Structure 1
Amino acid sequence: MHFAMPPRKTSRPPPYAARQSRGFGIPPALRNILRDRSRGLVVLILGFFTLFWLLGGMSGGERSAVKNTIVGSGAPVVIVTTIDPTADLRWVERIKKNREDYAKKHGYATFFPSTADYPLKKSPPSWAKVPALRHAMTLNPTSQFFWYLDSTALIANPSISLQSHILDKSRLEKLMIVNEPVVPPDSVIKTFGNLKGDRIDVIVSQDKEGLCVNSLFVKQGEWAKYFLDAWFDPIYRSYNFQKAEAHALEHIVQWHGTILAKLALVPQDLFNSYVTGPASPKNGQYKDGDLIASFPGCDKEKRDCAEEMEPTLAKLEGKDKD
């Protein structure tokens, strides 16, 4: 069966069609007026968008001035500690001074936001550390490293420089624990080997139960912002993990190779020694000379951080006066 082909449209329409399509019966004088007004309207629209583009370019220049700042030209490390607004004020001031004295000695900066500053909704206050780090990055765009240190920990050896102790890339490569289960003792997901120190953006330690989130380092950059945003995802906060953000971190590290590939696991006593708590049996118990004396969990289970930390804090304050 053959189907009739539709008639082919000519590329040369009859003269009357062309005339009708141009004028639509409108008198020439009126067409000229409309044409002039249309040109004026086009000029007006173009002028508006030009002005908008210029203003946008100016504000974009301001944004790029921040974006293009040289990372590393500011304080090399920002120490971030979130504060419970209901905590004893005298104890809080001593915790802040512990960080401020150390930061002043080494040229670092400090940041002490309240846990109430962030929209946690029904999530535990411990989640505040994640947006606090993100906040600190925004406030300090030229700083390179951000050290989150829980209020349940004390800087016990202020003579230690973080660069030579941990952060220098060649030093970090020597410290990294490779082929280690992410969650002890027998997680099938293990830390990568052959990672380069300058490719690491997150530095953590591990106690005998899992990854530690009471003391960790994050390196400034777009990847770190992605990492913190992923960690703070509402889905993870709604899971009701037993250990809140700690278990959420273990989850994303084990399930997202792109995050594990940027993570360095180092010995616990480098920056997270436990005075009390589930310390790593290998290297987690506090000893004289360690950088950090940590009391994990002292803010929970009807314990009193101020009371537990008092002997160590008083000893450290006494050394400062000597």
Structure 2
Amino acid sequence: MGSGSTFWGSDGGGGGDGGGESRSTSPGPALPISRSHSPLPTSRASSISNGGGGGWAPKSAANGYAPASGARRFLGKHLRKLSTSLPTYNRSTATGFTPTTPYYRGGGFFGRMRGGMARKPRTTWVCLLLIVSFLYVFLHLHHNPISNRLRGVSGGSKFVIILAANQGGGVMTWKGAKEWAVERDSIANKKAYAERWGYHLEIKDMSTKKRYAHEWRESWEKVDVIKQTMRQYPKAEWFWWLDLHTFIMEPSISLQSHIFNHLQNVTYRDINVYNPLNITHPPSKEEFFYIDEVAKSAVGDDRGESINIIVPQDCGGFNLGSFFIKRSEFSERLLDIWWDPVGYEQKHMEWEHKEQDTLEYLYTHQPWIRTGTAFIPQRMINAFPPGACSETPDDPRIFYSEKDRDFVVNMAGCEWGRDCWGEMASYRKVSERLNSGWWRKHF
């Protein structure tokens, strides 16, 4: 240093000519080298040289501020809590960047989602459960365009259920409270089943067919309705006719899994397997000498692709309370002949069961119809309750079995001396009990 400069704790008279400065050994004024370590803000610091006054003033006095009031201390504490609760940026382990770098990208939406799931696992599982429940209800239970589009991929749009109903009242008689209740339950049953599997449902109001009443064709219009429905659904393949007094007992079973995925295995072509009408089969070669070999065979060509109509048989013959018919040239020809006025005008007094007797007559006298006709065990699509088919009350092939969980029950003939509403209500309760989940059975 230059001459005349002083150094704290050193003598100011060091010679500049010696090229160096030395610490002074002579006694000088005392310098404070220590402060009191007392934690009290009012403690005094003493000089080590003379132990005299010269104490330290309080911190607030030294800074020139007044002591903080209680309100200010409370506000400061509140602001500190608020600042600690604000979100902070952490180093991103996924990208290796921090918010201070210009290339920081963070974890994005999925990163934030993973972080939230890790912080609140219980809330995450509850939200996932709610989402799954909503999708199940929206796509599986309700009738909406999205569910229909998804089910259409599985082939549900190829099936049309035709339900005969008299929503406006009967042609010959008025409907009472029980008749309305039967109709309501039957329609609800078919609607729920069709919506569940994505099938089309066409409810045909037979009361609009009063123009047939003067021709004694109140039941014959079934053929005309099928033709109309085929025109209405040009892309559908199979049409399932159901009478009003039918009830689907197993709604969890689709038509594909029940019948059409293995059609040839669940049907039979040879009527001799069960032949209550004693129809001669195969056709007599002497009487029908002009038919080909396929028509002469008892099983036709024995291929599932050639099946165009599926009919169950009860104790009295063909039963059309529940049957299937396929869109094809064969079916168009059959329906035209079936609906021909020449037939009903000449035979309506002889054919007690109308359209059923007509089909039996055509099957017997027109061998070509046999090549496209298949029969199905009655209990697969048309089981009877006790009281129907009184001629054979113990036949296990006809009556509904709760143990075997038959697919459909048909209260055929219940309007003649039986209680249609009582039977349908009873089978509805059975179906609900058999198909309810464990929560319905135990609670």
Regarding TM over 0.5, the answer is yes
What are the superposed Cα offsets for residues 132-174 of structure 1, whole Å, 9 maximum, x if unpaired? 2112111111111100011111000111111121123xx1211
1:114 maps to which of 176, 184, 205: 205
Which position in structure 1 is the counterpart of 2:285?
none
Aligned positions of 1:196-275 closer than 5 A: 196-238=303-345, 239=347, 240=349, 241-275=351-385
Which position in structure 2 is the counterpart of 1:91?
182
Residue 189 of structure 2 contacts residue 247 of structure 2 at CA under 8 Å; is this kept in 1? yes
2:411 maps to which of 290, 295, 299: 295
How far off its partner does 1:74 sit?
7.3
Which position in structure 2 is the counterpart of 1:308?
423
How far off its partner does 1:317 sit?
5.0
Aligned positions of 1:146-161 closer than 5 A: 146-161=239-254
Alpha-carbon distance between aligned partners in 2 of 1:302 and 1:284, rounded to the nearest angstrom: 20
Secondary structure, counterpart of 1:249 in structure 2: helix
Residue 227 of structure 2 contacts residue 335 of structure 2 at CA under 8 Å; is this kept in 1? yes
Q: Does 1:284 align with 2:366?
A: no
Letter in 1 for 2:185: R
Residue 206 of structure 1 contacts residue 268 of structure 1 at CA under 8 Å; is this kept in 2? yes
Which position in structure 1 is the counterpart of 2:238?
145
Computing the radius of gyration over CA atoms, which structure comes out larger, 1 or 2?
A: 2
Q: C-alpha root-mean-square deviation of aligned residues, in Å?
A: 2.5
* Larger relative contact order (Cα-Cα within 8 Å, sequence gap ≥ 6): 1
Moved over 6 A (4+): none
Alpha-carbon distance between aligned partners in 2 of 1:271 and 1:83, rounded to the nearest angstrom: 19
Letter in 1 for 2:183: V
Alpha-carbon distance between aligned partners in 2 of 1:101 and 1:79, rounded to the nearest angstrom: 12
Percent identity of the aligned residues?
26
Alpha-carbon distance between aligned partners in 2 of 1:89 and 1:320, rounded to the nearest angstrom: 26
Alpha-carbon distance between aligned partners in 1 of 2:309 and 2:318, rounded to the nearest angstrom: 12
Letter in 2 for 1:286: Y
Matched positions, count: 248
How far off its partner does 1:195 sit?
2.0
The structure-2 alpha-carbon separation of the partners of 1:285 and 1:110, relative to structure 1 and needing over 3 Å to count, comes to same
The structure-2 alpha-carbon separation of the partners of 1:259 and 1:282, relative to structure 1 and needing over 3 Å to count, comes to farther
**TM-score normalised by the chain length of structure 2:** 0.52
Residue 269 of structure 2 contacts residue 373 of structure 2 at CA under 8 Å; is this kept in 1? no
Q: Does 1:173 align with 2:173?
A: no
What are the superposed Cα offsets for residues 223-258 of structure 1, whole Å, 9 maximum, x if unpaired? 222212211222332312021111111001111122
Secondary structure, counterpart of 2:413 in structure 1: coil
**Structure 1, gaps ≥5 residues long:** 1-71
Residue 147 of structure 1 contacts residue 216 of structure 1 at CA under 8 Å; is this kept in 2? yes
The structure-2 alpha-carbon separation of the partners of 1:178 and 1:145, relative to structure 1 and needing over 3 Å to count, comes to closer
The structure-2 alpha-carbon separation of the partners of 1:295 and 1:73, relative to structure 1 and needing over 3 Å to count, comes to closer
Q: Greater helix share, 1 or 2?
A: 1
How far off its partner does 1:120 sit?
2.1
Letter in 2 for 1:243: H
How far off its partner does 1:320 sit?
6.1
Alpha-carbon distance between aligned partners in 2 of 1:177 and 1:145, rounded to the nearest angstrom: 18
Residue 177 of structure 1 contacts residue 266 of structure 1 at CA under 8 Å; is this kept in 2? yes
**TM-score normalised by the chain length of structure 1:** 0.70
Secondary structure, counterpart of 2:318 in structure 1: coil
The structure-2 alpha-carbon separation of the partners of 1:128 and 1:283, relative to structure 1 and needing over 3 Å to count, comes to same
How far off its partner does 1:176 sit?
2.4
The structure-2 alpha-carbon separation of the partners of 1:178 and 1:264, relative to structure 1 and needing over 3 Å to count, comes to closer
How far off its partner does 1:264 sit?
0.6
Alpha-carbon distance between aligned partners in 1 of 2:205 and 2:352, rounded to the nearest angstrom: 23
The structure-2 alpha-carbon separation of the partners of 1:252 and 1:270, relative to structure 1 and needing over 3 Å to count, comes to same
Alpha-carbon distance between aligned partners in 1 of 2:188 and 2:336, rounded to the nearest angstrom: 30
